[in-house]
Structure 1
Amino acid sequence: MAEKRPYLTAHNDVLTGGIVLAATILFVSTGGSAISDVIKSLAGMGAGVEQLLTTALLLNVALILFGYRRYRDLKIEVRHRAAAEERAQQLAGTDPLTGFYNRRKFEEEGAALIARMQIKGKAVALMMLDLDHFKTVNDIHGHAAGDTMLKAVAERITAHVPPETISARLGGDEFACACAFEPGEPGEMESVADALVNAIKEPVTHQNGELSVSTSLGIARSDRDGDTMDTLLRRADIAMYAAKNAGRNRHFWFSGTMEDELFRRNAVEAGMRQGIAAGEFVPYYEQQVDLNTGKLLGFEMLARWESPALGLVAPDDFIPIAEETGMIGSLSFAVMRRAFTDARDWDPSLTLSVNISPSQLRDPWLSQKLLKLLTETGFPPSRLEIEITETSLYDNLGLAQTIIASLKNQGIRVALDDFGTGYSSLAHLRALPFDRIKIDRSFVTSMMGNAESAAIVQAITRLGDSLGLPVTAEGIESKDIEQRLLSLGLAKGQGWHFGKPMTVEAARSLLAAHKMLAAEEEALPLPDEADTAKTAAPGR
């Protein structure tokens, strides 16, 4: 049924009111004498009433009754409309799943709370909570399980915050709370934050199983004139991400250093976007040698950023940002294209090792993109070794198996990097056809002074022998470590003991001294770097 237009409803109400008013005036002017005559006629004491006057009287009565009924209906309708509007306003400001405020209403109520507390000389703490690994709950158990978890989190928040707290679900798995406290007693909010972190990590019963998440919590305080909800939300968000980056399942108070770090990170990100386009990211090369003979066997490609503003930047400072922002693909392609072009006229016996990032291993077209890049640069697939870290296999082992099989079909070798740092290395070695194991550098560099590290290196070496897999040791930084590895039977290694990662110019000079460069006239022409595709990670 079509909704009545407001101006028609108003027109009908005015018309009804006019009719009732006219009927009332007519009744007052004629009704008195007419009723008297009617009564006398009915009693047989009068001459009767004119027909027209009787009709007018009855019409007056009917109109007055109609008006009263309409008035009563209008009162009911107004009451229903008021209730509906109140309900609509409530729904407009409330999250339907948890009953908490939504973001808009939370900002309104929070601003009012800050204003009231500033007058009273109290502070306001705004806590921002983001559930850790909540996506896993939805992906594995379904969205109904996710809803169950969100409701349980809302109940636990309500149970552990002060009574006058304003709580909200800002969206997805993000919650916020605002409450007043005495400026000199922040320990009260510390206790609340600890209680929330501990309560939320407790399992939630769902159907026949249990669901578990944790939370990263950031706190910002307002006890100065000029602090606004926008300011508190931004600061609490910064603190929350600091807690998440520190390992999750904890809380942090906002501090100015966090904001400075955020500004620095944003500056680095902006510089990276410009730097990729400007060709500032370049490959460096670390030697891989035969430990028995000292012969050069190849290089591992390591990305470096030659920033005009920051100088030479190591990958530990920009690779995480590239992963988070989605720049890893374009950055990787730019560095790999240059590395393949550099290495194509080296001695055919030399291999080139390149790292693949976890996000790229989720790309089902990775092997095709790599083959396209090899074809464009003229670098032989048989000289390429792709290194995959074990942690990158956790997300989708089935897809990783497909990609690795495709790479090997193209003649590319695949190594399991940072071996020994994961929790299911043996299972991965059985499930995936690796060509080599690389021992994580943390074990190698500490093996001379740490018996446990030495035992791990020895165990991995024996495992490689039993599986028929060659083993490479990373992080060889002294002659003593080299000799110790030789005594264990390791044949290949790399590290600063053989030289630090070098530029392409230094690598060419080294190769020229060893007569391991192809003749200049045999070198292939430089490929068009504008022809891009997303491929492998730039290394560490």
Structure 2
Amino acid sequence: MVALGIATAAIIMFVGTGGTVLPSVIDAIFADGKGPDKLLVNALLLNIALIIFGWRRYRQLVFEISERRRAEAQARELAEIDPLTGCLNRRSMSAATDQLRERAAARGHAIAYGMIDLDNFKQINDMHGHSIGDDVLVILAERMREQLPENAILARLGGDEFSFVLSYDPAHRNRIDELVIRMFDHVILPFRLKTLVIDATMSIGVATDQDGGAQNFAVTNSDELMHRADIAMYHAKKQGKNRYFWFESAMENELRFRNEMESGIRRALENDEFVPFYEQQIDLTTGELSGFEMLARWQSPELGLVSPDIFIPIAEEIGIIADLSEQLIGKAFADARLWDENLTLSVNISPVQLRDPWFAQKLLKMLVEHNFPAQRLEIEITESCLHDNVGMVHSMITSLRNQGVSISLDDFGTGYSSLEQLRSLPFDRLKIDRSFVSELRHNKSGRTIVDAIVSLGRGLDLPITAEGIESEAILETLKNLGDFKGQGYYFGKPEPSNAVFDRLRRLNLLVGESRPELLLENVAQSQEPQRANAQL
């Protein structure tokens, strides 16, 4: 405005000065007049310069302001809109949800907040690259827009996580279910990108701000809605993925328990609370004790003795299963050194550990550190391990067997191992899953399956161990089928190390009695973690 004012004032002065100078100029040219006053001429020229300067400055400032406004608008858009998909982002979704909720409440409507997450999206990025992953997200957003009603809000919260919000009549909650089902039918179709066809699934969690048609006062803002939808989506993933759930309060309690378990497991690892238990393995032909299988237990000060079915899956998910397993194996080596040298030690290995290319070297290093004979160690791996990376598993098995470690295929019959894998992978033993063994007392089909496994083992020259022997009838049936090693509650439940020492002492199978230096060394090793904790 200042620049425009200067230009306008200069124009007015130009008109006034020009009105005086111009007649004098015309008179001087045509009538030999005196001519204009030099001071007025200079003033006229100055007015012209001011007009040019003021107008140019005005134009420049107008352009600068328009550019600044465009930049501010772009900055606001970048702050509110996801640049890849064109959806709202996490920052703007919260305010948009609160606004929609206010409008819906005025009409007596409820709000449904949906959380969407692609299943295993990381694998798409890892296999095909991030550019292909971005293309998948763009197509996914377009398909969701097509299915959502006009009044719905769609946002990309980050990565492969999307959310949508819409209002609905509480009396017709089933319409939200119908919408989610349509999204499963039309959104997760194969993604065709150039020469690639990518299949994907998604998990959805839905939360609402009304409960039974009445306002839920526990939901105070959009953040609480998003939190509840996120819990429901996590529950959908836990239940197998590619499905959806409405939020229920029990889910939040379950998630809180899960978080407490994660924290407790991490503390337990630091405080050395995981202990080995041992289950007897018996030669069914002679009835003699042949060894023990080491099983993990958590001796929690707050929870008591915790089963591995509870903490092992969590330890695998949070990435500490390798440290936990190494801690337990070290304790088992120290215990087994006191046993008779003819007794073997079997140890279960997690599929997560077999993804570590250095696992075999780490295990062999532990054998050396604990001075434990490799010939007495048997590693048990499940069939599921064979499908992650057969080449790496083959390399590990070969490396361990070359040092004398035996390899057993655990839970045989419950996975998908092929005859080619059994023939090519150098296993030393098959373990029949307890689910087949337990069926021996109920029907003939169970005996037929076990008999087939025995025939397969005999053909491949692989000895067999049967798990889950719980009765005399099952024991006699197995004896009639062939030569087995067996284990199960019929021979006794898993025991801690002190109970095993007592059992072996009665059987005169505890070498520490004749070699006290081993017993003292074992006691010293078992006390080292306690001393370290005391010092901490």
TM-score (normalised: structure 2): 0.90
> Is the Cα contact below 8 Å between 1:203 and 1:212 reproduced in 2?
yes
2:463 equivalent to 1:470: yes
- The Cα shift of 1:386 comes to 0.8
Long gaps (5+) in structure 2: 211-215, 530-536
Name the counterpart of 1:163: 150
- The Cα shift of 1:459 comes to 1.9
- The Cα shift of 1:259 comes to 0.6
Name the counterpart of 2:51: 64
Name the counterpart of 1:424: 417
> Is the Cα contact below 8 Å between 1:361 and 1:400 reproduced in 2?
yes
2:61 equivalent to 1:74: yes
- The Cα shift of 1:367 comes to 1.6
- The Cα shift of 1:72 comes to 2.9
- The Cα shift of 1:284 comes to 0.8
2:327 equivalent to 1:334: yes
1:388 counterpart SS class? strand
- The Cα shift of 1:43 comes to 5.8
CA distance 1:177–1:429, change in 2 (3 Å): same
Please give the alpha-carbon distance, in whole angstroms, between the structure 2 residues aligned to 1:392 and 1:97.
Answer: 38
Alignment map for 1:406-417 (pairs within 5 Å): 406-417=399-410
CA distance 1:396–1:95, change in 2 (3 Å): farther
2:294 equivalent to 1:312: no
> Is the Cα contact below 8 Å between 1:197 and 1:251 reproduced in 2?
no
- The Cα shift of 1:275 comes to 2.1
Q: Deviations 1:450-498 (Å, cap 9, x if unpaired)?
A: 5444333222211111111111111112222222222221411111111
CA distance 1:345–1:530, change in 2 (3 Å): closer
State the one-letter code of the partner of 2:289: L
Please give the alpha-carbon distance, in whole angstroms, between the structure 1 residues aligned to 2:526 and 2:358.
Answer: 20
1:65 counterpart SS class? helix
Name the counterpart of 2:213: none
Which moved further from structure 2: 261-270 or 110-119? Answer: 110-119
Which moved further from structure 2: 356-365 or 52-61? Answer: 52-61
2:263 equivalent to 1:270: yes
Please give the alpha-carbon distance, in whole angstroms, between the structure 1 residues aligned to 2:307 and 2:22.
Answer: 105
Which moved further from structure 2: 165-174 or 210-219? Answer: 165-174
Name the counterpart of 1:290: 283
CA distance 1:324–1:182, change in 2 (3 Å): same
> Is the Cα contact below 8 Å between 1:419 and 1:425 reproduced in 2?
no
CA distance 1:76–1:121, change in 2 (3 Å): same
> Is the Cα contact below 8 Å between 1:131 and 1:213 reproduced in 2?
yes
- The Cα shift of 1:361 comes to 0.9
Please give the alpha-carbon distance, in whole angstroms, between the structure 2 residues aligned to 1:142 and 1:531.
Answer: 48
> Is the Cα contact below 8 Å between 1:197 and 1:217 reproduced in 2?
no
CA distance 1:393–1:160, change in 2 (3 Å): same
Which moved further from structure 2: 22-31 or 427-436? Answer: 22-31
Higher relative contact order (CA 8 A, sep 6+): 1
Please give the alpha-carbon distance, in whole angstroms, between the structure 2 residues aligned to 1:34 and 1:127.
Answer: 78
1:237 paired residue among 230, 238, 242: 230
> Is the Cα contact below 8 Å between 1:26 and 1:60 reproduced in 2?
yes
1:50 paired residue among 33, 37, 40: 37
Please give the alpha-carbon distance, in whole angstroms, between the structure 1 residues aligned to 2:83 and 2:332.
Answer: 54
Name the counterpart of 1:186: 173
- The Cα shift of 1:124 comes to 1.4
2:355 paired residue among 359, 362, 365: 362
- The Cα shift of 1:260 comes to 0.7
State the one-letter code of the partner of 2:238: N
Please give the alpha-carbon distance, in whole angstroms, between the structure 2 residues aligned to 1:138 and 1:127.
Answer: 24
CA distance 1:457–1:30, change in 2 (3 Å): same
1:523 paired residue among 518, 527, 532: 518
Please give the alpha-carbon distance, in whole angstroms, between the structure 2 residues aligned to 1:473 and 1:199.
Answer: 48
2:210 equivalent to 1:206: no
CA distance 1:36–1:446, change in 2 (3 Å): farther
CA distance 1:484–1:21, change in 2 (3 Å): same
CA distance 1:529–1:217, change in 2 (3 Å): farther
> Is the Cα contact below 8 Å between 2:4 and 2:55 reproduced in 1?
no
2:132 equivalent to 1:145: yes
Name the counterpart of 1:27: 14
> Is the Cα contact below 8 Å between 2:339 and 2:512 reproduced in 1?
no
Please give the alpha-carbon distance, in whole angstroms, between the structure 2 residues aligned to 1:357 and 1:368.
Answer: 16
Please give the alpha-carbon distance, in whole angstroms, between the structure 1 residues aligned to 2:486 and 2:359.
Answer: 28
Which moved further from structure 2: 343-352 or 100-109? Answer: 100-109
CA distance 1:202–1:373, change in 2 (3 Å): same
State the one-letter code of the partner of 2:191: V
1:163 counterpart SS class? coil
CA distance 1:145–1:431, change in 2 (3 Å): farther
Which moved further from structure 2: 313-322 or 174-183? Answer: 174-183
Which moved further from structure 2: 374-383 or 301-310? Answer: 374-383
Name the counterpart of 1:536: none
Please give the alpha-carbon distance, in whole angstroms, between the structure 2 residues aligned to 1:320 and 1:530.
Answer: 29
After superposition, the CA RMSD in angstroms is 2.4
Please give the alpha-carbon distance, in whole angstroms, between the structure 2 residues aligned to 1:165 and 1:451.
Answer: 58
Identity of aligned residues (%): 50
Which moved further from structure 2: 291-300 or 323-332? Answer: 323-332
2:93 equivalent to 1:91: no
Which moved further from structure 2: 319-328 or 225-234? Answer: 225-234
1:373 counterpart SS class? helix
Please give the alpha-carbon distance, in whole angstroms, between the structure 2 residues aligned to 1:485 and 1:41.
Answer: 135
1:110 paired residue among 73, 97, 105: 97
Name the counterpart of 1:535: none
- The Cα shift of 1:28 comes to 6.1
Q: Deviations 1:5-28 (Å, cap 9, x if unpaired)?
A: xxxxxxxx96x5685466356436
Name the counterpart of 1:7: none
- The Cα shift of 1:297 comes to 0.9
1:222 paired residue among 197, 209, 218: 209
Please give the alpha-carbon distance, in whole angstroms, between the structure 2 residues aligned to 1:427 and 1:366.
Answer: 24
CA distance 1:36–1:503, change in 2 (3 Å): same
Which moved further from structure 2: 256-265 or 66-75? Answer: 66-75
Please give the alpha-carbon distance, in whole angstroms, between the structure 2 residues aligned to 1:511 and 1:61.
Answer: 114
> Is the Cα contact below 8 Å between 1:117 and 1:123 reproduced in 2?
yes
Please give the alpha-carbon distance, in whole angstroms, between the structure 2 residues aligned to 1:39 and 1:164.
Answer: 74
2:149 equivalent to 1:154: no
CA distance 1:34–1:447, change in 2 (3 Å): farther
State the one-letter code of the partner of 2:236: A
- The Cα shift of 1:63 comes to 2.0
Please give the alpha-carbon distance, in whole angstroms, between the structure 1 residues aligned to 2:423 and 2:75.
Answer: 59
State the one-letter code of the partner of 1:380: P
CA distance 1:38–1:188, change in 2 (3 Å): farther
1:173 paired residue among 154, 160, 164: 160
2:495 counterpart SS class? coil
> Is the Cα contact below 8 Å between 2:423 and 2:460 reproduced in 1?
no
TM-score (normalised: structure 1): 0.90
Q: Deviations 1:472-527 (Å, cap 9, x if unpaired)?
A: 11111222222222222141111111111112122122212221111431525136
Name the counterpart of 1:497: 490
CA distance 1:187–1:140, change in 2 (3 Å): same
Please give the alpha-carbon distance, in whole angstroms, between the structure 1 residues aligned to 2:464 and 2:487.
Answer: 11
